[in-house]
Amino acid sequence: MKSLLGIKVGMTQVIDDAGEVSPVTLIQAGPCYVTQIKQQTTDGYTAIQIGFGDVKEKRLTRGQKGHLGLLKADGKGRRRKSVSGIPPVRHLKEFRTRSVADYKVGQVLTVDQFTTGERVDVVGKSKGRGFAGVVKRHGFSGGPKTHGQSDRQRAPGSIGATSGMSRVIKGMKMAGRMGNARVTSTNIEVVRIDTEHNLIAVKGSIPGAKGGLVVIRDAAKS
């Protein structure tokens, strides 16, 4: 299981030795910290929870601080930072894994677990477009531009049958909210890795806006 949380930095291009230009997306992935380990005997499944993102400790609730091990009473009843090694993190996400033997709480995960040329899946939240019509949302061609139809250029047309059905079938493509949904870009090639700056460049585009949270994981259909 190889997974990381990261932030979408933006797009650029790289030139290989043959002179071919490829568009890439830069992702600042990690460092991520293992914040919790779940085992089959205690939780019914095996998984690890990782945290990512800098945040001020005062922005966390007491429950979050306790979960991260940031609160621990000393002999005088005062509270101090624990020695778990986990700093305050903004995002927490759990990943299933077959074995947790190679992980421990406080372990740091970086981009060096990925290699150049391998395939990954990138999960993010697409840009929200608000309420959109069928032309923009689904790519409809619209109605004819002539024969007196002055207001049908971007209309969906017929959405159901006549008295035989007398209803609109569930799942019909219509106008509505567009974007702001979980999107997975599958089987993307890793072009370059910068371990010094925690950057990973993947070929092509990925969902979401700049600064959006993304998940990088092993390709499920490689």
- pLDDT digit string (tens) for 135-190? 999 999 988 888 888 888 899 988 887 777 788 889 999 999 999 999 999 999 99
Say if residue 80's pLDDT is above 60. Answer: no
Q: What is the pLDDT of residue 74?
A: 56
Please tell me whether residues 74 and 143 are part of one structural domain.
no
Q: What is the pLDDT of residue 189?
A: 95
Please tell me whether residues 191 and 82 are part of one structural domain.
yes
Please tell me whether residues 90 and 110 are part of one structural domain.
yes
pLDDT of 8-60, one tens digit each?
Answer: 999 999 998 888 999 999 999 989 999 999 999 999 999 999 999 999 988 98
- State residue 19 phi and psi, 5-degree precision: 85, 10
Q: What is the pLDDT of residue 222?
A: 73
Please tell me whether residues 91 and 173 are part of one structural domain.
no
Please tell me whether residues 154 and 214 are part of one structural domain.
no
Please tell me the number of Cα atoms within 13 Å of 201 on its side-chain side.
Answer: 14
Say if residue 133's pLDDT is above 80. Answer: yes
Mean residue pLDDT of the chain comes to 89
Domain span including residue 157: 134-178
Say if residue 77's pLDDT is above 60. Answer: no
Q: What is the pLDDT of residue 82?
A: 53
Please tell me whether residues 66 and 79 are part of one structural domain.
yes
Please tell me whether residues 210 and 168 are part of one structural domain.
no
Please tell me whether residues 17 and 32 are part of one structural domain.
yes
Please tell me whether residues 161 and 109 are part of one structural domain.
no
Q: What is the pLDDT of residue 166?
A: 83
Please tell me the number of Cα atoms within 13 Å of 160 on its side-chain side.
Answer: 12
CA dihedral in degrees (102, 106, 110, 113; nearest 10)? 0
Please tell me whether residues 124 and 139 are part of one structural domain.
no
Please tell me whether residues 25 and 104 are part of one structural domain.
yes
If one counts the domains in the chain, the total is 2
The pTM is what? 0.82
CATH assignment at residue 11: 2.40.30.10
Please tell me whether residues 73 and 12 are part of one structural domain.
yes
